Amino acid sequence: MSSLQREIEARGERIFTLVDQHPESLFSKAGFYQGMMALSMRDEHFKVQLFRFVDVLPSLRRSSDIVEHLEEYFAGIRNGFAPFIDTGVRLARIVPWVSGRVLRWNVSGMARQFIAGKNPNDVMKTLRKRRAQKIGFTVDLLGEAVVSEKEADEYAARCLDLLDGLGRETRGWTDPLEKNSALFPVVNLSVKISALYSQMNPADPADAIAHLAPKLRPILRRARELGAFINFDMESYVHKNITLELFKTIFTEKEFKDWPHAGIVIQAYLRDAEANLRDLISWAHARGTRFTVRLVKGAYWDYETIKSRQNGWDCPVYFQKPESDVNFEELTRLLLKNESIVTAAFGSHNVRSIAHGQALADELGVDRSRFEFQLLYGMAGPIKRALVEMGYRVREYCPVGELLPGMSYLVRRLLENTSNEGFLRAKFSENVSADELLRDPKELVRQNRANLSETTIPAITEDRAPKNGASIESPPGDIYENSPLVNFVYQESQEKMRTALHEVRNRFGEKYPLVIGGEKVWTDKLTPSVNPSAPKEVVGYVAEAGIPEAERAVKVARAAVDKWSRTPFEERARLLERAAAIMDRRRYELSALEVLEVGKPWAEADGDIREAMDFCRFYAEQMRQIGRPRLTQHVPGEESYQHYWPRGVALVIAPWNFPIAILCGMVSAALVTGNTVIMKPSEQSIICGAMLMEIFQEAGVPPGVLNFLSGRGSVIGAHLVDHKDVDLIAFTGSREVGLRIWESAGITRPGQRELKRVVCEMGGKNPVIIDSDADLDEAVVDSTYSAFGYQGQKCSALSRLILLEENYDRVMERLLSATGSLRVGNPEEPGIMVGPVIDEAAYKRIQEYIEIGKSEATLAYQAKEVPPEGYFIPPTIFTGVKPNMRIAREEIFGPVLSVIKVRDLDKAFEVANGTDYALTAGFFSRSPADIDRAKAEIEAGNVYINRSCTGAVVGRHPFGGFKMSGGGTKAGGADYLLQFLLPRVVTENVTRHGFAPEETPEYRDEFLWPQR
Ligand SMILES: Cc1cc2nc3c(=O)[nH]c(=O)nc-3n(C[C@H](O)[C@H](O)[C@H](O)COP(=O)(O)OP(=O)(O)OC[C@H]3O[C@@H](n4cnc5c(N)ncnc54)[C@H](O)[C@@H]3O)c2cc1C
């Protein structure tokens, strides 16, 4: 055993001895809280329900609501809590106000355990008590998620007030150790950077810093005047790089360059924590002034792992707890070795981590008065006391605020305290031995690795276990692993996007041909495509097809059907996969093209390319699932096999709003199923169409199998829809055109062989309902995004926000200020959320609707500043909207939101469903019963609960609506390909004179496509 390990054990045991002298349970408050936590640790389902109940409780106003929620959350739970619930509910039915109050009081008690005071005055009682115990403080202001600049300004003002108050109340307080006190001001404020700017976007650090620095400077100045200390807390990974950059930027400014009382947090659970810390240390040497680092493991482990898995990102955190512990120790060493420039604050309740810090400091000769331990208010009281007794400097992190804004903090603490992996639970609840608790985490990492290699149980050890290619028996959606989104948190991604924008700009004005039968075709007319942010800029030109080119395309496509339909589906699937790989290679370039041709913000453009790749790979997989003739039933003496033939020639007509994804989705479905295709992109996104053609050509699509026709919908589109040799039309676009296609495809023309199949996806008038108990932090952010993201030009966009009378005022206040804070501008700039609408016609049409809105309802908000050039329409909100008004019934396809106030939830559902459309819908609620109702009752193809109503992911959210939103098809779903196919069954009597084979194979390929 190393001498350091021996010393760590000695220190650790000493702490445990001191802790045991003052026995205290993990949870200092006995009774209700302790009971709840004990049950949570035994029963995972109960824990989830309890934490959700705790989360919603502060927003419930009436006692009867509390009782209802209690019943909804805990009905069916059978554990030690059941008798309490049963009695509570029975009692509640008689006297609801008593039960409601008792519950609120108990849960408030839980929160009070972790919240040091309701307001700055209140917290002083705690701080004085701690002073007597020789424990210092850092105060953190709890707040709701900041959704607008108004709320950000309020947070900044509260910070200033708090600093003033703390300065006044602690005048004359001295350092508890009275040694090296200059390094540790008494007043210490922890600031949450995300609370100072509502529009922080990881892709745009420069914008964030430009907004954050002016808000921070007055706080820093005041702190300096008061001799106080300011710490930047660290939040989720999406904000990390900006927080680090901001710290370095502001503390390099002349005014603050020589100020040593600034600190920042490093989270050891992050894989890049060491690189960040080293960078900070070199920066500090260059700056020439010391600073502080609070080293923690990190409070957002669950969030980071969920988020990265959802988006297919490399996960930024370690997967094994001991890896975080090892990293914590390595970073401890790095901090202590650089003590001459950085003061260390160790934020941990883990006695091993703490003892390691103590032992290492001694080994390196760092005096114990030159660093500190920081622990959270309401947790690990005996450890704090032990550290003080050992002569260490201890500071307590004291959150201040009301119950409602404190909920997310409370839930984080509850999770931490009940975590299977956590030190506190192991020590105080499960009585794990001191030996075990003080083990070197490196040993545990080694041991875990060895165990993992022996076990067959899947464990999270790497980022993504590729699932694609799973067996035929796997459920269709679940076998598919989506392509990752680009994570713009990385500077490298931002730079690649900037370079791509530059390169696409350099190619402005290039000309692209039609492609018919594999040949480039030029006509005497060129269609320009312009940048909607700057209509004078021509992105490129494409040859314009007329009737002769359309006729030629049908002819070659028809001629190619025979061979392509006989090409093994595996080969067709591989074509799609090659196309996806090319898109992956050209990913940034394609995104940049979308930014410039259709005005998509960065992340939206990237999402579109990701979706296109997903369509290719998902449909390739799907085709492999359904491609082989499959036995229908096991019946003795007879064999019946069902399989599919392609329909023939497919015409694909796509919209401009998802200019590559939707076009590619329809084209790839048609191709992989063995149809030949005439692809017609929207007139507003022809360059994107030309690029997709290039991609499929490079992927090796045979001549004639895919033909690219750009031209006017009213001319070639209409001609091809009516054409006798077109067997299938896949259309996505407006209701007006969709219905026309539907109708005209129903007419059988002379010489036509097939009844035309129409795959038709149209618009929506999508509602979102916000229930009275909804989490407004989420509901407001997600609703503004659903309504105004990509200028409301998604068929899935929110256009009718339905609010209950009960919370109308609360929602509106936040919604209006949140909308007023959105960044409107040229989407070439990263971080813009609202760009231009697609073209002049759209601009005029939307303006007309705004005028109609003004005459029908009340204009509640319209942004004032939009760029002077380009088709920019400011985000606009109407209130006082009635369901029968035109702005509530007709699809506007722009950044215009109608707010409808209703009496209750019954009415809300009635209004939501009272429309011609049924595409997407959203519902925000924390009532399990109301959520069940929404799941069952809302008429929409895609119903989203507690999230935005846009952003469907292939395979995960098969997308498409019914009523006047479409033919009920589901793009990106398991049954989508069937529409491009004709089902066929071959039945053979295999009995000969009463004798039949005993075995019938599951699949038979021999009659699939006999060679000619
Ligand atoms: C004073 C103070 C200030 C704080 N400020 C911040 C802050 O600004 N930002 C912030 O994010 N956190 C902050 N924290 C919270 C802190 O991150 C958690 O309290 C802390 O991680 C718990 O660690 P521990 O050493 O006390 O306990 P331990 O039980 O030893 O460690 C638990 C931690 O290990 C990590 N972990 C859990 N499971 C795994 C796993 N499977 N794989 C890898 N790692 C895992 C997680 O980080 C978890 O929180 C602060 C904590 C304190 C005490």
Q: Give residue-wise pLDDT tens across range 1-41.
A: 799 999 999 999 999 999 988 777 655 555 667 777 778 88
Q: Is 727 exposed, middle or buried (0-12, 13-18, 19+ CB in 10 A)?
A: buried
pLDDT at residue 474 is higher than 70: no
Nearest to 332 by CA among 271, 245, 274: 274
The CA 316 to ligand 1 mean position distance, Å, reads 15
Q: What does the DSSP assignment read for 121-146?
A: HHHHHHHHHHHHTT-EEEEEE-----
The CA 129 to ligand 1 mean position distance, Å, reads 26
Structure tokens at 439: 């083990």
Q: Give residue-wise pLDDT tens across range 227-266.
A: 999 999 999 999 999 999 999 999 999 999 999 999 999 9
Q: Is the CB of 595 under 6 A from ligand 1?
A: no
Confidence band for 81, pLDDT divided at 50, 70 and 90:
low
Query: What pLDDT score was predicted for residue 82?
Result: 67
Query: What pLDDT score was predicted for residue 637?
Result: 93
The mean pLDDT value for 413-424 works out to 85
Element (H, E) at 572: helix 569-585
pLDDT at residue 821 is higher than 90: yes
| Alpha carbons 997 and 392: distance in angstroms, whole number | 85
Q: Give residue-wise pLDDT tens across range 325-371.
A: 999 999 999 999 999 999 999 999 999 999 999 999 999 999 999 99
Longest dimension (CA), the chain: 109
| Alpha carbons 947 and 1002: distance in angstroms, whole number | 42
- What SS3 state is found at 304? helix
- CB under 8 Å to 716, separation ≥6 — which residues? 545, 546, 547, 549, 550, 680, 709
Residue whose Cα lies nearest atom 52 of ligand 1: it is 347
Residues 484, 610 contacting (CB under 8 angstroms): yes
Residues 336, 277 contacting (CB under 8 angstroms): no
Query: What pLDDT score was predicted for residue 923?
Result: 98
Q: Is the CB of 301 under 6 A from ligand 1?
A: yes
Kindly give the number of the ligand 1 atom that is closest to the alpha carbon of 352.
30
Confidence band for 568, pLDDT divided at 50, 70 and 90:
very high
DSSP type of residue 193: G
Least confident of 170-179, 458-467, 936-945: 458-467
Q: Is the CB of 137 under 6 A from ligand 1?
A: no
The CA 300 to ligand 1 mean position distance, Å, reads 8
Kindly give the number of the ligand 1 atom that is closest to the alpha carbon of 349.
26
Q: Is the CB of 232 under 6 A from ligand 1?
A: no
Burial 953-991 (b: 16+ CB within 10 A, else e): bbbbbbbbbebbbbbebbbbbbebbebbbbeeeeeeeee
Query: What pLDDT score was predicted for residue 92?
Result: 65
Q: Is the CB of 349 under 6 A from ligand 1?
A: yes
Residue whose Cα lies nearest atom 37 of ligand 1: it is 321
Identify the residue whose tokens are 């090796």: 700
Q: Is the CB of 429 under 6 A from ligand 1?
A: no
Query: Amino acid identity of 57?
Result: L
DSSP type of residue 642: E
- Catalytically active residues are 761, 795
Q: Contacts from 28-32 at CB under 8 Å and sequence distance 24+?
A: 28/113, 28/378, 28/381, 29/109, 29/110, 29/113, 32/106, 32/109, 32/110
Q: Number of C-alpha atoms within 13 angstroms, CB side, residue 426?
A: 15
- What SS3 state is found at 652? strand
Confidence band for 1011, pLDDT divided at 50, 70 and 90:
low
The CA 416 to ligand 1 mean position distance, Å, reads 8
Q: Is 744 exposed, middle or buried (0-12, 13-18, 19+ CB in 10 A)?
A: middle
The terminus-to-terminus CA distance of the chain in angstroms comes to 78
Query: What pLDDT score was predicted for residue 108?
Result: 79
Kindly give the number of the ligand 1 atom that is closest to the alpha carbon of 424.
29
Kindly give the number of the ligand 1 atom that is closest to the alpha carbon of 298.
17
Please tell me which residue, 790 or 422, carries the higher pLDDT value: 790
- What SS3 state is found at 539? strand
pLDDT at residue 960 is higher than 80: yes
| Best of 296, 349, 354, 445 for a ligand 1 pocket test (most atoms within 8 Å of beta carbon) | 296
Element (H, E) at 344: strand 342-347
Query: What pLDDT score was predicted for residue 459?
Result: 44
Q: Is the CB of 958 under 6 A from ligand 1?
A: no
| Best of 292, 297, 327 for a ligand 1 pocket test (most atoms within 8 Å of beta carbon) | 297
Element (H, E) at 689: helix 686-699
Query: What pLDDT score was predicted for residue 416?
Result: 85
Query: What pLDDT score was predicted for residue 97?
Result: 65
Confidence band for 452, pLDDT divided at 50, 70 and 90:
confident
Mean pLDDT, rounded, of the chain: 93
Confidence band for 98, pLDDT divided at 50, 70 and 90:
low
Query: What pLDDT score was predicted for residue 541?
Result: 98
The whole-angstrom distance between residue 106's C-alpha and the CA centroid of its chain comes to 33
| Alpha carbons 850 and 861: distance in angstroms, whole number | 11
| Alpha carbons 135 and 129: distance in angstroms, whole number | 9
Angle at 358 between CA 353 and CA 362, to 5 degrees: 145
Give the global pTM: 0.94
Confidence band for 688, pLDDT divided at 50, 70 and 90:
very high
Q: What does the DSSP assignment read for 22-59?
A: S---SSSS-THHHHHHHHHHH-HHHHHHHHHHHHHGGG
Nearest to 277 by CA among 312, 248, 303, 252: 248
Residue whose Cα lies nearest atom 24 of ligand 1: it is 348
| Alpha carbons 936 and 916: distance in angstroms, whole number | 19
Q: Is the CB of 234 under 6 A from ligand 1?
A: yes
Residues 280, 264 contacting (CB under 8 angstroms): yes
Q: Is the CB of 570 under 6 A from ligand 1?
A: no
Task: Extract the runs of DSSP E, i.e. beta strands, from 843-992.
Answer: 858-862, 876-879, 896-902, 917-918, 920-924, 942-945, 962-963, 981-989
Identify the residue whose tokens are 């000493």: 14
Count CB atoms within 10 A of the CB of residue 421: 13
